[in-house]
Each structure stands twice: as structure tokens, then as C-alpha cells.
Structure 1
């Protein structure tokens, strides 16, 4: 189609005219370049590739599809405190393991990425745990409680030994879990918090978390026997701690023991969770990249790696998604961080037959053995499956390394042993009046693991991740400043 009107004319520009054109166009070009810099794709660094770090990347990418995310992981493989290995021919989680049906975010991710599918038909039959499972609570000399996990047997036995304390504890646990579950609707509405404390105050959990489980549940008329036997059995397995932990985390521990809802594990292991989230978020994953410092300059945040190596261009925000105690990361803040002390956990995998003589019984031993504080040399022993030859495989949690002579006494005919140590498995969770903040500088530096001062589990790491994704999406979506009377920059 040819337009009508004056024909196009070609004008020759002389040297003086060209200089004038440059004088007019150069400022416009510089303004355009400045605007393109201001409106560049935001960059976010995440230090740590566990459930919290990968969850932050995933949720942030959902809200800001154009954001560039770089994840730094000091180890050779991603996953943080999820660690799945093959031992004696079966898949075993040596770190975070259990998922509750009450864990809305975990269940959603598992279903979305089909993470609950078994490895093979074989895995669902002879090599997995038996259909009939039983629990026992060992005080170091005898079993004080034993039952199958069938509710038809378990509940009557619980009420027979502990009376109405079972109902009172279940009611108190349901109340705490219900309060915590309010966070899902709040986050769906876009509510975010600068600190775990403000979050817990909004949920009505702060004052509960300032009391020990012993004190809080005794006020709810739960008996000392129930607390020191059944409740402690759960927390000694989940956190290697007793009822002096805060009451909220003890309620979560009991929910994880099946007092409210039910629990399950993933056939291929929990290590799938962060891997699936990192893949979905399309992050730039830097492995064997140990961060030693985060610095600031006019361009933003600079991430420094071991050997004083720069991690590339500046970042608009940094999320520390690994426990700071023991991480040796220098941060650009003078704020008192109020970090909790973390504890070491020893995991021992054994292929062998538990010795009935060690437990002083001729009866079949429970598939899950929990312990009271006191004489026991371990915190829990759980049957994980069987070798091809039918030898049982157990996972043991303990505060110290279990010696070979002890294992030879505990087991008849040890076939194989694997030992692992978690130097910072989870914090010591006693009530403390001050917790770390999520927002460390109010300028883009965030600490996801601040949440662990309150509760330490995969679901609450995802809650913290969602919280930071909401905060960061608002900060990074806000249009950068432009010159007066200029068209405003817009970012998606």
C-alpha cells in the first residue's frame, strides 16, 4: 500500500548539522540507557539449596517470572538437610524425612510434581516396612508402653495408661496446629511479616511459644506421665530434645507423630523436593560455591565466594537460606542477630537383627522404638526396610556416635553400618524472648532460617519461603525512580 502525500525527500547533513544532531540525540540516548539500567531484570541471590532456599526460588519465580535467581550451594549436590542415600539396597532419608497430611505446601508440591510415586513395584512389596507396624517407648531398662500403630489398638492403650491426658493433649495440639494453619489464608491474601515474632503474634502463638511444653501442657491438665513418656518420645525422635522446648514446636512434633493428622514419607526420598523446586524455578545453580561474605556498594549486594572470588554482577536482594551459626558468612549488618545454638545429630544406619536380649524380652520388638530421657544410649530406632536377603535395615538417631561394641550388643549379626553426622541439624528450641528477624537490613538482605527459632521442619521452611517471596516480589516489582516528568518505568 502506497501512502499519498508529499514524496519522501533525502536531506544531506553537513558536518555542522551532524554535530548539532549529536548534541540533541546524545542526552536522549543517555537517558534511554539510564532507564534501561534502572529497568533491568532484577537479580536475587539465594544462599542454600535446601527446602527453604529452593522454596523461596520457586515461590518468587511464580510471582516474578522475569527475575534472575542464582542459588549458591556449598556442597557438591543440592538439597541442604534433605539427604537421600542408597544403603543395603534400599532408599533411606538421613535428614528430613516425614510429611504430615496437614502440611499444605508440602502436599501441594508433592502432588504437583508426582513425588509420591514408588521407584518400582518391588519397592512396594518385600523390601519396604511391614504392613503391621508397632511402637514402643523404652526407658533404658524396659518398655513402658507398646502398641501397634492401628488406632483400634493404639487409642485404647493410650487411654488405659494415660487417661484423659490423651484427649487434653490432642485438643491442645489441634488448637496450636489450627492457629498455625491460619498462615495459609494470610499468605494467600498477600500478607508478609518482617519477623517470625510478628507472624506468631498475628497467629496467636507468640505467648504459647514463650512457654515450655512441660509448663504449657501441664496448665492444660496433661499429666506428667504422658508428657515425660509419650510427648517426650516424639520430641526426642524429631528434635532430640525433651519437653523444655517451646510448646508450639512440641505440638508440631506431636502432630508429626500422628496425634493430629497422619504422616508419610516419600518412596524416592525427600531430596526430590528441593530438586523439583529448583528445576521449576529455572535457577542458576552454583554447586561447590561456599559463600564467605555479602557486601554492599552503590550497585547493590555483592556475594563473595571462598578464595575472595566475586560471584558476578550485583544483586538486588540476597536471601540467606542456611543456618548462620557455623556458616561463617560475614554480613553487612550491625544488627544483633540473636541466633540460636544449633545441635549435632548422629545418624547410624544398620543392616542387622535387633537383639531381643538387649531389651530384656522374648516378644517381637516394635518396628519403631522411642526412648525416655535417662538411661537409653540412643533417641530412636526405626525399621526402614529389608535387604534382598531379608535382613532388616534400621535408622538410629543419637546425640553421640554409637560405638561398634555398643552396636554389636544392640544387634545380632551386623551386616553393614553407615554413619552420618549433621553438625547443625536444628536449633535448640527452648523458649527465648528474642528471635532473629527475616529482614536484616530493610534494604534487601533477608534471613529465611530465622523461622527455625520458633519451629524447625520442612513445612515451616516453606512458610518462611512464601513469606520472603511475597516481601521480595513487592520490593522488586516497585518501579525504580525516573527523571521528573519522564514516563515511569514499569517492571512485571
Structure 2
């Protein structure tokens, strides 16, 4: 009976130490700790998450992270990539939505420098770009001509609403940019919203938000809603206030 007990303890010890039955109760302190991370989506957020995890936890460190990206498409990049028009390379390519690349987007600028991407400064765009025209489905209700008369026409149609809106928009953007100066991360979006004090913007539609700001309804419908339809395929009454 005593011999049988010793044999049983020996088998149990072997199983725990060497993991013959898949258990990991004991671990050599000199061996690195391995963690697996599943990342859903291979867009800008997913791929950058995998990249920075590999930098924070290098392969030769005491903690090793193995990241796996699950992407339903046969390419990565999400909206920050281009695809052939109608799947036909001869027709050229079209970007899928990440069309805004400005200095204020510090993450994108940092990524461009990190990967040694060459930045090209466009020149002569303003002079070559056609003037703004607003079509209501029947006629052009506003059209730039390139002269000082454009300002007078804009004030006549929209009042001083454009300037009022730009001031408020600048205030919100400057508040948002404070995120870049924080020295810690956020566990979820809700904490970011709470930290920035944007709760009210998410708890009302863009149309209600603009109305409370005293933004001219004509400006909202003809200018701002045109932009939200192009960017989000949504009208102002279906978006939250931060979207504008």
C-alpha cells in the first residue's frame, strides 16, 4: 500500500512539472511568461495594436505576447487602404474612407515617421480646386465665383453662423487633442468621454446640438449635413453631437 502511494505521488509530480496532462501549475521562473491576444479586425486600430504590443513586449523579454489578428477581408488596413475600382485594376484605385491626413492627427503623423513613409506636400491645390457649389436637387442655391462677392453672398445666405460654428468646433477639437498629452491609457471609450466632458454631445443628436448652439438651420442642412452624408452616410438627426 505504501509503495503504491509513493508511485502515485511520483506520477502526479511528473504531470504537474512537465505538463503531461496539459496543466501549468508550476513554471520555471527563468522561462518567459507567454500571453495570447486576439485582435478583432485588421484595420488601423487592430494593426497598430498588434504593432505596439510587439514593441512593448519584445520577443526576447520576460513577458512575451503573441497577437493574432482576425480579419474577414483578404487584406488588412480597413478604411485606411485602397482597393481597385469595381475589382478592376485598369479602372484605378479608390480609398475606402481614411481621406483626412492633417498635422492634428498625431498618431498618423507618428506612424508615418515610424515607418519612414515619405510625405508629399501638395502645392497649387487651392488655386486648382473648383469653387464650392451647393445643389438642392433642382438648382444651385449657392456658388463661389472666386471674388470678394462670395463672402457677401455667404453672409446673406447663412448670416454669421459659419464663424460661430467654427469657433465652437475649434473649442471641441482643442479639448479632444488633450488626449495626446495624457501619460496613461483608457480602459474604454466611456472613460475617454467622461474625461473630456463630452457626455452631453453623445446624449443628443447633431441636429439638436446645432439648434442649441443657435446654428442657422439652412447652414446645418446645406453645408453640415452634406458633409455628414458624405462622411457617414447619415443625416444630422441620426448622428450624435460630436460627429459634427
State the 1:228 CA deviation.
Answer: 1.1
Whole-Å separation in 2 of the counterparts to 1:154 and 1:108: 38
1:159–1:103 CA distance, 2 compared to 1 (3 A): farther
Partner of 2:115: 113
Whether the aligned pair in 2 keeps the contact of 1:208 and 1:216 (CA below 8 Å) is yes
What secondary structure, in the 3-state scheme, does the structure 2 residue paired with 1:55 have?
Answer: helix
Runs (5+) with no aligned partner, structure 1: 1-22, 119-123, 251-492
1:98–1:134 CA distance, 2 compared to 1 (3 A): same
1:117–1:99 CA distance, 2 compared to 1 (3 A): closer
Equivalent positions of 1:52-451 (< 5 A) are 52-66=45-59, 67-87=65-85, 90-115=92-117, 117=119, 131-147=128-144, 157-186=153-182, 189-193=183-187, 195-244=188-237, 245-250=239-244
Comparing 231-240 and 160-169, the one that deviates more: 160-169
1:36–1:57 CA distance, 2 compared to 1 (3 A): same
Whether the aligned pair in 1 keeps the contact of 2:44 and 2:78 (CA below 8 Å) is yes
Whether the aligned pair in 2 keeps the contact of 1:179 and 1:205 (CA below 8 Å) is no
State the 1:56 CA deviation.
Answer: 1.4
1:30 aligns with 2:17: yes
Q: TM-score, normalised by structure 1?
A: 0.39
State the 1:99 CA deviation.
Answer: 2.4
State the 1:83 CA deviation.
Answer: 4.1
Whole-Å separation in 2 of the counterparts to 1:113 and 1:248: 31
1:41 aligns with 2:34: yes
1:61–1:138 CA distance, 2 compared to 1 (3 A): same
Whole-Å separation in 2 of the counterparts to 1:151 and 1:111: 39
What secondary structure, in the 3-state scheme, does the structure 2 residue paired with 1:134 have?
Answer: coil
What secondary structure, in the 3-state scheme, does the structure 1 residue paired with 2:67 have?
Answer: strand
Whole-Å separation in 2 of the counterparts to 1:105 and 1:205: 21
Q: TM-score, normalised by structure 2?
A: 0.73
Deviations 1:305-339 (A, max 9, x none): xxxxxxxxxxxxxxxxxxxxxxxxxxxxxxxxxxx
What secondary structure, in the 3-state scheme, does the structure 2 residue paired with 1:137 have?
Answer: strand
Deviations 1:349-398 (A, max 9, x none): xxxxxxxxxxxxxxxxxxxxxxxxxxxxxxxxxxxxxxxxxxxxxxxxxx
1 or 2, which has the higher helix percentage?
2
What secondary structure, in the 3-state scheme, does the structure 1 residue paired with 2:132 have?
Answer: strand
Whole-Å separation in 1 of the counterparts to 2:167 and 2:126: 31
Q: How many residues align?
A: 215
1:134–1:114 CA distance, 2 compared to 1 (3 A): farther
TM-align CA RMSD: 3.5
Whole-Å separation in 1 of the counterparts to 2:150 and 2:127: 17
Whether the aligned pair in 1 keeps the contact of 2:39 and 2:68 (CA below 8 Å) is yes
State the 1:242 CA deviation.
Answer: 1.7
State the 1:81 CA deviation.
Answer: 3.1
Whole-Å separation in 1 of the counterparts to 2:126 and 2:171: 32
State the 1:230 CA deviation.
Answer: 0.9
Whether the aligned pair in 1 keeps the contact of 2:79 and 2:95 (CA below 8 Å) is no
Deviations 1:60-106 (A, max 9, x none): 22322232212122222222234413455644214432223321211
Deviations 1:267-295 (A, max 9, x none): xxxxxxxxxxxxxxxxxxxxxxxxxxxxx
State the 1:141 CA deviation.
Answer: 0.5
